[in-house]
Amino acid sequence: MEGLLPKLPLADWIDSFVDWLTVTFAFLFDGITVSLEGVVEGLFAVLEIIPSYILLILIGLLAWKLSSKGIALFAVIGLFLIDNLGYWEAMLETLSLVLTAVIITVVIGIPMGIWASQKTVVKQILTPILDFMQTMPAFVYLIPAIFFFSIGVVPGVVSSVIFAVPPTIRLTILGIQQVPTDIIEATEAFGSTTRQRLLKVQLPLAMPTIMAGINQSIMLSLSMVVIASMVGAPGLGADVYRAVTQIQIGRGFEAGLAIVVMAIILDRITQNVGIRKQGGN
């Protein structure tokens, strides 16, 4: 094989492409860096002002309202444990990173999903891109992320978004397309415009599925925090990463446990958001 064709200089091409991007769109990347940093730090600042025991109770109440008493109790105990182990600030940093990533995911993902659900061509183009985003090892796009956004929390957020946005898009498409045909026919038969059909019928009915997608995105961006810490993102991930490099089994376990507790609380709280009352449910 080698004799037939010279090796494609794919790596060289990509290198020069990334170089070109870095130089040409420097203003854009700088803008994104500044604003994302602002969002993450702003969120962190707000969360930090609140005393830990008050935030702990607030999250507990939220869990109670949206989920069950059991989950609320788990949240309070879990958060207390995190505080007790001394990971409170790291947890808030991780939380700000994850929340920022999720907000961007929702802002990008839902409109993309709606668009793709209405136009088959868009869906056909989008599907392979989403596959690419989900299967390409995260480390690979971490490298250009450093070029574009330098070291720190921003490349962490960006790579989290890339990794986490596919489920939101996919499940938005699915949710909208799953609305039964006869209901769509009924809304058309009474003379709905495309917009009315989307806003009054398809989106409300797709909401539980879309929320399941957002829930998946939250979980995925949480799973990115350790990887993000390798490019300088602060938080629990950084603690785990440090423990790994210094072979501190105990510390690594503590930080890992804190991530698990966060994941469970976020998962249970967001799981039930989309499921609204529809009569006999």
For another protein, the binding residues (CB under 8 A) are 180, 182-183, 185-193, 196, 200-201, 204-205, 276-281
Closer residue to another protein (CB): 99 or 211:
211
In angstroms, give the least distance from the CB of 274 to another protein. Answer: 12
Closer residue to another protein (CB): 28 or 186:
186
In angstroms, give the least distance from the CB of 184 to another protein. Answer: 9
In angstroms, give the least distance from the CB of 281 to another protein. Answer: 7
Closer residue to another protein (CB): 26 or 186:
186
Residues 6+ apart with CB under 8 A from 202: 117, 176, 179, 184
Closer residue to another protein (CB): 14 or 183:
183
Closer residue to another protein (CB): 246 or 278:
278
Residue with tokens 């300088």: 232
In angstroms, give the least distance from the CB of 195 to another protein. Answer: 10
In angstroms, give the least distance from the CB of 250 to another protein. Answer: 50
Is residue 209 exposed (0-12), middle (13-18) or buried (19+ Cβ within 10 Å)? buried
Closer residue to another protein (CB): 131 or 185:
185
Alpha-carbon span 191 to 212, nearest angstrom: 31
Among 114, 120, 122, 220, CA closest to 167: 220
In angstroms, give the least distance from the CB of 192 to another protein. Answer: 5
C-beta of residue 163 within 8 angstroms of C-beta of residue 222: no
Alpha-carbon span 127 to 230, nearest angstrom: 29
In angstroms, give the least distance from the CB of 253 to another protein. Answer: 45
Closer residue to another protein (CB): 122 or 184:
184
